[in-house]
Amino acid sequence: MRRALVVGNWKMHGSRASVDALLGSLTPAVADATAEIAVCPSYVHLAQALELCAGTPVAVGAQDCSHMASGAYTGEVAADMLSDLGCRWVILGHSERRQYHAESDDLVAAKLTAAIAAGLQAIVCVGETREQRENGEAEQVVGAQLQGALAAQAGLQDLVVAYEPVWAIGTGLTATPQQAQDMHAFIRQSLAAIAGIDAAQTRLLYGGSVKAGNAAELFAQVDIDGALVGGAALVAEDFQAIVAAAG
Ligand code: PEP
């Protein structure tokens, strides 16, 4: 049985005041949720979010981490620093990191190794661009991203994979439930061929313009175990409605 998981990716949004307001509304609203819940604010709001989420069902994670353990890497944040702070989760390989920061599959793999060593639970993002989908390359692209990030890793039993078609992120376009299910089934099948992964138990999240209005039909698909939510995670009622749909 895979427990539903809903994760909010706040991206580069927020202020101390908005974090207070958002978590002040969200944490009581999800007190009785059956789904597992996490929010991923920016690094500078992690400590505040951890304080506000203490004793609630909402766990806290980061949106990235360094592939290096420590040292002279100006601007980087080590996985150990995140777990020392109290974070449980880290998002890796988000398409915005791949697009704007030239993250390769090799770099995502190195970050995953660092995250696992630090005891973080990683959410590895994969997904094709619109052009790749139109060219019929979606499965090939996603399969290569999975192989590149996951092959030869140890400690993958808590892995979470997020399928986020790039063309659906922040665009208002959502993959149809059937498109998402087809890719999730392909991902589960691909994971089964990677050593050290229990594919049947691995949670697969869908991400890409998930909203209160489309969450239930996505979650009704057999291989969709929850969502990675961007824009709608910034509004407490919207995120709470997605969490409720997952429960
Ligand atoms: C995301 O950034 O992971 C995401 C899915 O964003 P949105 O929900 O806004 O499309």
Distances (CA, A) of 230 to 11, 197, 219: 7, 27, 17
CATH of the domain at 192: 3.20.20.70
Q: How far apart are the first and last CA of the chain?
A: 13
Q: Tell me which residue of 117, 43, 29, 34 sits closest to 87, measured CA to CA.
A: 43
Assign 215 to helix, strand or coil. helix
Q: Tell me which residue of 134, 142, 154 sits closest to 189, measured CA to CA.
A: 142
The pLDDT tens digits of the residues spanning 167-183 come to 999 898 889 999 999 99
Q: In this structure, which residue's CA is closest to atom 4 in ligand 1?
A: 230
Q: Tell me which residue of 94, 93, 92, 81 sits closest to 46, measured CA to CA.
A: 81
pLDDT for residue 152 is more than 90: no
Domain tally, the chain: 1
**Is 94 considered catalytic here?**
yes
- Give dist(CA 238, CA 111) in Å, integer: 31
Using the 8-state DSSP alphabet, how is residue 222 labeled? T
Evaluate: CB of 166 within 6 angstroms of ligand 1: no
Residue 168: per-residue pLDDT: 93
Length of the chain: 247
Question: Which one is catalytic: 45, 94, 96, 128?
Answer: 94
Find all residues with CB under 8 Å of 222, minimum gap 6, and list them. 181, 185
Q: In this structure, which residue's CA is closest to atom 2 in ligand 1?
A: 230
**Sorting pLDDT into bands at 50, 70 and 90, what band is 243?**
very high
**Is 76 considered catalytic here?**
no
Calculate the average pLDDT of the chain: 97
Residue 115: per-residue pLDDT: 98
> What token pair was written down for 64?
């990235």
- Give dist(CA 99, CA 59) in Å, integer: 27
pLDDT for residue 59 is more than 90: yes
Residue 48: per-residue pLDDT: 98
Evaluate: CB of 214 within 6 angstroms of ligand 1: no
Residue 227 Cα: closest atom of ligand 1? 5
Kindly provide the residue ranges of all beta strands, DSSP E only, lying in 93-142, ordered along the sequence.
Answer: 121-126
Evaluate: CB of 53 within 6 angstroms of ligand 1: no
The residue written with tokens 């973080």 in the block is: 120
The pLDDT tens digits of the residues spanning 7-41 come to 999 999 999 999 999 999 999 999 999 999 999 99
Tell whether pTM > 0.95. Answer: yes
From 205, 209, 235, 238, mutation site for ligand 1 pocket: most ligand atoms within 8 A of C-beta: 209
Q: Identify the domain containing residue 34 by its residue range.
A: 5-246
